[in-house]
Amino acid sequence: MKTLRDLKVKIFADGADKAGMLEMYRHPHIRGFTTNPTLMRKAGVNDYAAFAQDLLKCIPDRPLSFEVFSDDIAEMERQALKISKWGTNVYTKIPITNTKGESCVGLVRRLSQAGVKLNVTAMLPLDQVRDISAALAGGPSSFVSVFAGRIADTGRDPVPLMAAAMEMLAPYPNEELIWASCRELLNILQADSIGCHIITVPNDVLKKLDLVGRDLRDYSLDTVKTFRKDAVGAGYTL
């Protein structure tokens, strides 16, 4: 059984709660950070740019991904160029399509050729990975983000698909595959087993990292103790 120290996959914290992100920043095994408009809204962020720039002052030395939010391809490009100037550690997130299903592959190619570090997001099927990896070829360091957790939500095993995605990226040294939408600690070990470069993990899962490799008998006993403690605390009687 692997321990946290044995893992080669890079763990990125996924969220938009500043306090939680800074807590994870104190841990050297957290190698980067990602967020998105949905997470920001849930965290109560009102000023997108102010939040991002404040966060970059606190986290200046690890990759941070911020996403465009326009639905118009031309406006996405304007936003992407603006976001890319916020810091040298910034990766600009571009969705694989807009809400009309119009491809962003051409936009990704233009931005990559312009030297913008990208995180292309919301990908699921392999043909999207194929097209985006080709569009990013020869550009700066970029991430290809496949939502393995959402693939699993459909009843499909994401491991073979993610392994195939790794093979697609093999010819492109500037690109790293992200196992996105992590659901549980097991996903970290699955990502590591196929050589995936990065996995994005929410804070509630990150807080369980100390459980990796834990003795199951000890964990069983702790579970029994928790049930007993809660029963006593509730004052239950029969």
User: Is the C-alpha dihedral spanning 118, 196, 125, 158 positive or negative?
Assistant: negative
Alpha carbon distance 82, 229 (integer Å): 53
**Has 100 been annotated as catalytic?**
no
Burial class (CB in 10 A: 0-12, 13-18, 19+), 88: exposed
Location of structure tokens 């603006």 = 82
The DSSP symbol for 103 reads: B
Q: Which helix or strand (DSSP H or E) is residue 90 part of?
A: strand 90-95
Length of the chain (residues): 238
Report angle CA 172, 159, 147 to the nearest 5 degrees: 70
SS3 label, residue 156: coil
The residue from 2, 82, 93, 100 that is catalytic is 93
User: Is the C-alpha dihedral spanning 39, 45, 50, 51 positive or negative?
Assistant: negative
SS3 label, residue 231: helix
Alpha carbon distance 159, 166 (integer Å): 11
The DSSP symbol for 6 reads: G
Would you name the residues annotated as active-site residues? 93
